[in-house]
């Protein structure tokens, strides 16, 4: 005897997932920047150096003096010679007034007045040491600098952000199915 059989055929359900990716765009515009650097203010003041050379004494030592100095020197020498002459004559006059005291003042005075004094011999055209006077004042430089700070202007830009969200859709691709068949339901009996 054959027993009836049940035949089951099943089909599983299948789902379908469709995904759309999210899109994101970020763009950062450059900042607007302005930099200005004003020039520094610079001021320079200079007092020039000064060199003074005085050769007056050297020229005078070489007997090459200025005419006004020469006139003054000759006047001084003449005045001094006149005073010496007056002094000598007064002294000699006093000696002659006192002739009774003895001695021979006339002969002595004649001998003194007859001969000039010995002249000094020497080189007179070489100036004395340190007769040229020099004076030097160095230059004075005053530098005044004023620094100007840079002028910086920055305008930041916000980022440009675009976002499209993604999507996930789920659907049934294949529905489940169950089929039941009965096999050998009616069999013949022996």
172 found inside a domain: yes
- Domain membership of residue 177 as a residue range: 1-30+160-190
Give the pLDDT band of residue 93 (cuts 50, 70, 90).
confident
**What is the Cα Rg of the chain in Å?**
68
SS3 57: helix
Taking Cα atoms as reference points, which of 59, 52, 60 lies closest to residue 135?
52
Helix 67-97, helix 105-114: angle, nearest 10: 160
Looking at the structure of the chain, the number of domains it has is 1
| Neighbouring residues of 184: CB distance < 8 A, sequence distance ≥ 6 | 2, 3, 4, 5
Contacts for 117 with CB less than 8 Å, ≥ 6 apart: none
Structural domain contains residue 92: no
pTM of the predicted model as reported, rounded to 2 decimal places: 0.38
What residues form DSSP beta bridges with 170? Answer: 17
What average pLDDT does the structure give for the chain? 86
Classify residue 121: in a domain, yes or no: no
Residue 176 lies in a domain: yes
pLDDT range class, residue 96, cuts 50, 70, 90: confident
- The neighbour count for residue 160, using CB atoms within 10 Å, is 10
Q: What tokens does 61 get?
A: 């030592």
- Tell whether 183 is covered by a domain: yes
Mean pLDDT of 149-166: 92
Tell me, yes or no, whether 20 lies in a domain: yes
| Averaged pLDDT for residues 148-176 | 91
Query: Residue 46 falls within a domain, yes or no?
Result: no
For 185, counting Cβ atoms within 10 Å of its Cβ (0-12 exposed, 13-18 middle, 19+ buried), the class is: exposed
The pLDDT > 70 percentage for the chain reads 94
What confidence tens digit (pLDDT) does each residue in 40-91 have?
Answer: 999 999 999 999 999 888 888 887 888 888 888 889 999 999 999 899 889 8
Residue 115 phi/psi, 5° resolution?
Answer: -115, 135
Is residue 174 one of the residues assigned to a domain? yes
């Amino acid at each position: 005897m054959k027993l009836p059989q049940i035949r089951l055929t099943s089909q599983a359900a299948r789902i379908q997932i469709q995904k759309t990716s999210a899109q994101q765009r970020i763009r950062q515009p450059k900042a607007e920047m302005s930099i200005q650097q004003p020039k520094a203010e610079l001021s320079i003041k200079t007092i020039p150096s000064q060199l003074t050379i005085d050769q007056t004494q050297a020229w005078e030592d070489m007997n090459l003096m200025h005419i006004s100095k020469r006139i003054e020197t000759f006047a001084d020498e003449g005045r001094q010679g006149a005073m010496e002459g007056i002094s000598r004559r007064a002294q000699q006059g006093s000696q002659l007034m006192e002739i009774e005291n003895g001695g021979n003042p006339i002969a002595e005075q004649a001998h003194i007045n007859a001969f000039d004094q010995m002249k000094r011999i020497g080189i007179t055209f070489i100036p004395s040491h340190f007769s040229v006077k020099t004076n030097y004042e160095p230059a004075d430089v005053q530098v005044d600098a004023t620094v100007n700070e840079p002028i910086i202007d920055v305008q930041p830009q916000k980022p440009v952000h675009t976002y499209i969200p993604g999507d996930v859709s789920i659907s049934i691709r294949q529905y489940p199915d169950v089929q039941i068949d009965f096999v050998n339901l009616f069999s013949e009996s022996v």
